Structure 1
């Protein structure tokens, strides 16, 4: 979307004013000092824990399925920590869209950039494989300061939010590709451009296979295998982490996956889920547990939500 596009008058209709107000508050959050942003994020998370009852229930079920070895008290403590992380993720989304680059430059440590550079040297593009952690938005913004890439994203139903989100991402990531635009994804790879991609959500049965995630069958899309096979692109894992000491973030890039795609979509899906699971276990409160990851069930299996 060109930045010079005039704002459609329809987006200024009174029904959109609450969205504009929320976005304005987000812009203000992005300008605050870092210690205050952290405190407000944690406070917002505590508030969401009490207000977002449906999402709290989903997260509770997910944690019970994925951590059966923890007792109820341990899972409740993890659930509360997750909501604090979720509140931080909301503030970090505002930061990733509107905080000036110079204020973020010293807030992170990047590890493994050489793995991305080695993958790009192959000349076939890179699928920058990530997952839906609460640090997803800020991790992408910070990595973009060191390595340009394109981003795959899911369009938002609210037209005001969609416009602002898309413009913010195009400002920082050069190009934002709608999730449905697989041709656009392949064009970016053909240009030897990394494309940021997180395949760990439930998109239904049609284009998925069931693969274990924390030992639970999870509908896992096979697009990662198909895109890698069609393009010859390397798959480089990328996972950001919010530091427990409050000093910012660690961004980790890992060596490109060897032998990927493998012998079958099912084997590839299981491999990717195991990779993401390993990362989640290292910092479980930072994963997006409020998503209905196990919504689609195998034939004959009862729903869990």
Structure 2
């Protein structure tokens, strides 16, 4: 049984996090981006655990690249990750700033048609680009129903929920009751978005290939698609250079995500994620331990 953190320690962590987030959120966007670029570049050249994990993931996912190319890509990804942390601190406090910085949208016509037809929609949005900006766009354009998992820091959770619900999103707890509520909404034609590349708990996933390596993959998204008949799309908010803003990109998911065979559906979902990442691999969160829960008999690569 894991050790419980003392409530006072949790409160102190939450208060410290809020102070840091508010300081970052008080900076103008140009200053926020410049500071993130500077700190990210500095950190990317240090022998951190994040750099090691990123290089390991890239060696698995892009074996054709040379070690020098993978190191360069890992460093770029770390800089982009710092940018993401800094910008969402700003946008949680000032959501309108995130929304107004969307300067282009690509590939959304099929999504709009499906919404017009009254069909339930599943958006699969991996850890790519700025997912909070994507949330704002989806909520504003279509109305968004999504799951919310508490971080364990109530002060931070309150800030996050305020930002995400600013444009009228409906949030559901990550419980059986929350999933049931989401299913009811989807069957009535609601649009939902899920992060499909998180490593789930030991009862909520299966091992299927991700860039050719067995990866423990959450089953919720594919089960919801099958249960509700949802039309499925991939989407992300691409971070443009400098302070140019963001481009929303929407792509159709592999049709096999709705297959009756769950392993087939999950493999199709992971292929769809791969194709999205390949559009701009430097903006993917390679420092996340995606392969940390291998099949029995294999060791995690980290």
- The alignment covers a number of residue pairs equal to 295
Q: Which moves more between the two structures, 40-49 or 192-201?
A: 40-49
Trace 1:119-138 onto structure 2 (pairs within 5 A).
Answer: 119-138=114-133
Q: Distance in 2 between matches of 1:49 and 1:303?
A: 23
Task: Say which SS state the counterpart of residue 248 (structure 2) adopts.
Answer: strand
Q: Which residue of 2 aligns with 1:154?
A: 149
User: 1:95, 1:138 within 8 Å by CA — same for their partners in 2?
Assistant: no
| Structure-2 separation of matches of 1:250 and 1:44 | 24
Cα deviation, 1:63-112, whole Å, max 9, x if unaligned, reads 12112222222111111111110110001211331225267424431223
Any idea what SS the aligned residue of 1:202 has?
Answer: coil
Seen in structure 2, the aligned counterparts of structure 1 residues 154 and 202 have a Cα distance that, compared at 3 Å, is same
**CA distance, structure 2, for counterparts of residue 142 and residue 196 of structure 1:** 12
Q: Pick from 49, 54, 64: which aligns with 1:69?
A: 64
CA RMSD of aligned residues (A): 2.7
2:227 paired residue number: 230
Please give the alpha-carbon distance, in whole angstroms, between the structure 1 residues aligned to 2:146 and 2:171.
Answer: 5
- How far, CA to CA, are the matches of 2:170 and 2:134 in structure 1? 17
How much has 1:241 moved relative to structure 2? 0.9
- 2: CA distance between counterparts of 1:70 and 1:24? 41
Is the CA contact (8 Å cut-off) linking 1:46 and 1:87 kept in structure 2? no
Distance in 2 (CA, whole Å) between partners of 1:260 and 1:64 is: 27
Matches within 5 A, 1:20-39: 20-39=15-34
Alignment TM-score, normalising by the size of structure 1: 0.85
Structure 2 unaligned regions, length at least 5: 1-6
TM-score normalised to structure 2 length = 0.86
Deviates more, 1:32-41 or 1:268-277: 32-41
- Indicate the SS of the match to 2:214: strand
| Structure 2 residue 235 is the aligned partner of structure 1 residue 213 | no
2:271 matched residue in structure 1 = 274
Equivalent position of 2:185 in the other structure: 188
Aligned to 1:304: 301
Q: What is the deviation of 1:225? A: 2.1
What secondary structure does 2:165 align onto?
helix
Q: Which moved more, 1:134-143 or 1:153-162?
A: 134-143
- Residue segments in structure 1 that go unaligned for 5+ positions in a row: 1-10
* Alpha-carbon contact 1:92-1:137 (below 8 Å) kept: no
Distance 2:98 2:296 in 1: 50
Task: Note the C-alpha offset of 1:158.
Answer: 1.6
Counterpart pick for 1:243 among 240, 243, 262: 240
Maintained 8 Å contact 2:253/2:269? no
Please state if 1:169 is matched with 2:155: no
1:194 and 1:169 map into 2 onto residues whose CA distance is 15
Quote the residue 2:196 is aligned against. 199
* Partner in structure 1 of residue 49 of structure 2: 54
> For 1:68 and 1:257, how far apart are their aligned partners in 2?
24
- 2:181 & 2:198 partners in 1: Cα distance? 21
Any idea what SS the aligned residue of 1:218 has?
Answer: strand
Distance change (3 Å), C-alpha of 1:102 and 1:199: closer
Match for residue 110 of structure 2 among 112, 115, 118: 115
Residues 153-183 of structure 1 deviation map (CA, whole Å, 9 limit, x = unaligned): 3220122212222232222342222233211
- Structure 1's 169 and 245: CA in aligned 2 closer, same or farther, altered over 3 A? closer
Seen in structure 2, the aligned counterparts of structure 1 residues 77 and 171 have a Cα distance that, compared at 3 Å, is same
